[in-house]
Amino acid sequence: MQKPRRYQPMPTSSEVTRREFVRAGAASAVVGGIVLGVPSFADGGQDRTPPSAPETNINDFMKVPKGKHALPGPFPGRVVEVKDARSLADDAVDGKVVAEMFERGVRTLTGKDMSQSFALLFEPGDVVGIKVNPVGPPLIHTKVELAQAVVQWLMDNKVPAGRIVIWDRFDYMLKEAGYTPDRFPKGVRIEGLQTMDETGNGWRDAAGNHVSTDRFDKDAYYFAKGIVGRNVRGYKDDEFYLNQHVFNGEYSYFGKLLTKDVTRLVNLAAYKNTGAGISMATKNLGYGAVCNTGRLHAPLFFTVCAEVLAAPTIREKLVLNVIDGLRGQYDGGPDKNAQFVYPNHSLYFATDPFALDMCCHRQLMAKRKEMGIAVNEHPRFTEYLHYAERLGLGVANPEKIDYVRVQGPETGSWAGR
């Protein structure tokens, strides 16, 4: 019997075959009641509520004046879905079709051509960080083909390969999901904010510090008072926790890649659930841009997805969000569970990640109902989106969202859906 892995208890991409994907009921196992640090209250049980929220430094974030590119960007409340059945053929992604879908989505979102769209969102000399979600390959993660389309768009607009970096929190996950140098033009960087020893050994230096300590910026952080990263539910001990999270204490630090290097962010999320909520655009950055996050799930959970994005490090740099919905997963997330994966053939676009997540939340909950999965409509599963609207970061009211669907040559409005 294979020994469970310390961060990702699901099989790796090499251990999941195409036959396993298409076979009905090929559900992955959950080890120890926790997947990717998500505590059990996230499953949406009606009798479970998170504890009272601790004090955070959100007010410090909001005191910083907004700049030209700050959230929600030039198109608050506008969301575009591009659907093309050709994008998946025999369970394989068609990169050419994905590139066509990407161009169609950007053009529809901005109302401009690709060069004009680029000029609207970026500045000369930008270093562009492309945040992918590599969790759950080969089934439910950001496809390499989508990242390739973004890289090509940037390079077509004279962004040198050396000023493009594809990133995630964990370096080994990027490799497992197919993010390797041979898949991209020479010079494009592929970086994790941190490294982790999956065996639980050898992740401290001679001084006893985590080997990734220097990759995080002690001057840029998300603070949660009294939540110290010790005795965290779902982790067998504090050493086990530190291996994954680098620090304990009340601070979750932003990666230096984001504070010192990258000047613009493109957010490429995956279309999947986390319990009765979703794990899409805002969670991809809320829990992917900082360390020491396991401690935050129980007391704050979705609130993190609003407050971390309010930090100037993210708020002033995030110019485009795309959700990879070529496949969707309506239950068993946020890691892969083949039993609940289905072909969705869509990409979703917005400069406003909160409007984007609201639309996709409503769509995915409709899918859960269609498939006979219980849907918990407790406000906590969308309140963080409305909270972000109150902070001026986006639009969450469905009646104020302009939802546009593009399928083939036809375009129609789904406002408020």
- Of the chain, the percentage scoring pLDDT greater than 90 comes to 79
Residue 118 scores a pLDDT above 50: yes
- What pLDDT score does 208 carry? 85
| pLDDT (mean) for 325-353 | 97
Integer Cα distance of 247 and 153 in angstroms: 37
- What pLDDT score does 190 carry? 98
- What pLDDT score does 408 carry? 63
Asked if 253 and 220 touch (Cβ cutoff 8 Å), the reply is yes
**Considering all CA atoms of the chain, what is the largest pairwise distance in Å, rounded to the nearest integer?**
62
Structure tokens at 334: 């946020």
Domain boundaries, the chain: 36-158+258-413
| pTM of the full structure | 0.88
Residue 395 scores a pLDDT above 50: yes
* CA distances in angstroms from 409 to 78, 105, 249, 405, 412, listed in the order given: 20, 12, 53, 11, 10
pLDDT-based confidence at residue 221 (cuts at 50, 70, 90): very high
Reference 405, options 112, 108, 80; nearest CA is 80
Please write the tens of the pLDDT for every residue from 5-27. Answer: 333 322 223 223 322 323 223 33
